[in-house]
Structure 1
Amino acid sequence: MTGSGTAAVLGVIGGSGVYDIDGLENKRWVKVETPFGDPSDELLTGDLDGQTLVFLPRHGRGHRIPPSELNFRANIHALKQLGVTEILSVSAVGSLKEHLPPGTFVVIDQFIDRTFAREKSFFGTGLVAHVALGHPVCNRLGDLIEEALRELHVPHQRRGTYMVMEGPQFSTIAESELYRSWGCDVIGMTNMPEAKLAREAEICYATVAMVTDYDCWHTDHAHVTVDAVIKVVVANAGKARSLVSRLAPKIGVRDGTCVQGCHTALDNAIMTAPDRRDPAMLGKLDVIVKRALAG
């Protein structure tokens, strides 16, 4: 349950290179079972400067799972079970803007979800809910991330729109130009329905999109080599580790629930009448709905 007396727990979703943080103490890999199946991997828990951290390898250690086969519901549920109250999602993306070259970090504030082969909600027949998603990320958490990036002198942009495609193939040039015409800043394959599920789980969620290359629209960079991209990925992972280290002590200063309402997102969102709620669904979603139905 997230409430005024609940300590902040920072969850980090990203690649394995993010987890090798100097000073992380009491490290332990934990296997978590959820009503929605297995998450991508065991979760690494630990403490950094007094702040509890929980790391989830989004694609599993060794990058075993492609985007469309990720069990997003199990991943978010597992984080919720371990008490996570704020999530930093770290994702590699392609740039759709000339002024966002490889190595730039974008603190996302909007998404366009073009995925179509993924389960996108914890809720369903027997227990229906509609959460607000006009502002799909936590601006309070985004402000803390921006502050940390400034302190680290990491090139970044505070706001941007993340175009989430299904994959696993990359875009055609026509698709890339279409997304650019929509005003999108970056493109990737992983942050939806992750952000939607975090909102349903009443967890603050923010995305740092790490640019690895220009998408195929950029003719001057159309033939970038895998080696070149990997070099950027490795450099970005180092910056991401520094970001987590700098962000961790800032998370603990939260007093009470999120002022944006992330921690109370299910208030007035559950539509099914109490006498028509499926007991089996209530049991399955107990971790998700416990706070909202407590009264």
Structure 2
Amino acid sequence: MASVQKNIKLPKVDLGVFGGSGFYKFLNNVKEYAVKTPYGEPSAKVAVAEMKGKTVAFLPRHGKNHEAPPHMINYRANVYALKMLGAKAIVSPCASGSLQAHVKPGDFVVCDQVVDRTNSRKDTFYDGPKIVHISLADPYNEDLRKIAIQAIKDNKVPCHEKGTIVVIQGPRFSSKAESKWFTHMGWDVINMTQYPEVTLAKEVAIPFVNISLITDYDAGLVGEGIEPCTAEEIIKTFVSNNEKLVKVLNRFIELFPKNFTSNAEAELKAAVLHE
């Protein structure tokens, strides 16, 4: 059983991973930390373990028992917990639906763009008096994307090297009209959690990468035997993808340089308008 630590003597980690509770069984010598942040408690205790010569922190965004729906996740606490642990980068795999026929269930997409269609989420650390206008022009770190693409290909998983992910509020799925609109706009995948994770990571200067696991086709692609998604289908397909994802993450961690650096701090500094 993992030991639970308080904020005293938090470890320094190389890499943070947002994922599901299924990852725990693949970790050895795990220590769990009940991290207290200025934004409340994260979704669960943070599990820290050594993997491939790196210290890795795992945090299940929905809680250890998947008790937090996407619109109720404390995204700020989750991201800030990894900041407190000193994570040099964050990997954010997520279950996603396909908006394009060529993006098939079972495929992995390493997204390079994001569209926010959520509402009322706490999506900034800067409510004043410090004012920061972070750029989301390039939401995902290119060096991390290259590592993710290589890790996926090394495991012979079908990989789309680019894609735009549209993030909806949830917990409901899209209407057919909404889904067809997203497809018409040329967006590739749909999800409920990538925003505000990605922009919050930018605001604390942590490079971020997404790996979208395609579970099904979205409602707007219904036809020619394609049926609309259900929560049960998403969960079932995600479970079947989990084995592939764990292999990909293991390879990603192996490829991730322990001395990884980026220009995230400089980007954040340049975004400060008022201290």
TM-score (norm 1): 0.85
CA distance in 1, matches of 2:235, 2:136: 34
Does the CA-based 8 Å contact 2:18-2:90 persist in structure 1?
A: yes
Of residues 159, 163, 177, the one that matches 1:160 is: 163
CA distance in 2, matches of 1:201, 1:224: 35
Amino acid at match of 1:110: Q
CA distance in 1, matches of 2:142, 2:241: 23
Residue 253 of structure 1, CA deviation: 5.0
| Pair 1:169-2:195 in alignment | no
Q: Percent identity?
A: 37
Comparing 226-235 and 85-94, the one that deviates more:
226-235
Comparing 226-235 and 133-142, the one that deviates more:
226-235
Structure 2 vs 1, CA of residues 42 and 191 (structure 1 numbering), >3 Å: closer, same or farther? same
Residue 223 of structure 1, CA deviation: 5.1
Of residues 270, 283, 287, the one that matches 2:272 is: 270
| Pair 1:90-2:93 in alignment | yes
Of residues 190, 193, 201, the one that matches 1:187 is: 190
Does the CA-based 8 Å contact 1:11-1:84 persist in structure 2?
A: yes
Query: What residue in structure 1 maps to residue 254 of structure 2?
Result: 249
Structure 2 vs 1, CA of residues 224 and 25 (structure 1 numbering), >3 Å: closer, same or farther? closer
Deviations 1:49-89 (A, max 9, x none): 21110000000011100111111110000000011111000
Does the CA-based 8 Å contact 2:123-2:199 persist in structure 1?
A: yes
| Pair 1:149-2:127 in alignment | no
**Aligned counterparts, 1:74-85, within 5 A:** 74-85=77-88
CA distance in 2, matches of 1:104, 1:237: 12
Aligned residues: 262
CA distance in 2, matches of 1:154, 1:9: 25
Residue 133 of structure 1, CA deviation: 1.3
Query: What residue in structure 1 maps to residue 226 of structure 2?
Result: 221
Bigger Rg, structure 1 or 2: 1
Query: What residue in structure 1 maps to residue 118 of structure 2?
Result: 115
Give unmatched runs, 5+ long, in structure 1. Answer: 1-6, 278-295
Structure 2 vs 1, CA of residues 224 and 265 (structure 1 numbering), >3 Å: closer, same or farther? closer
| Pair 1:103-2:106 in alignment | yes
Residue 8 of structure 1, CA deviation: 6.9
Q: What value does the CA root-mean-square deviation take over the aligned residues?
A: 1.6
Residue 226 of structure 1, CA deviation: 6.0
Residue 25 of structure 1, CA deviation: 3.4
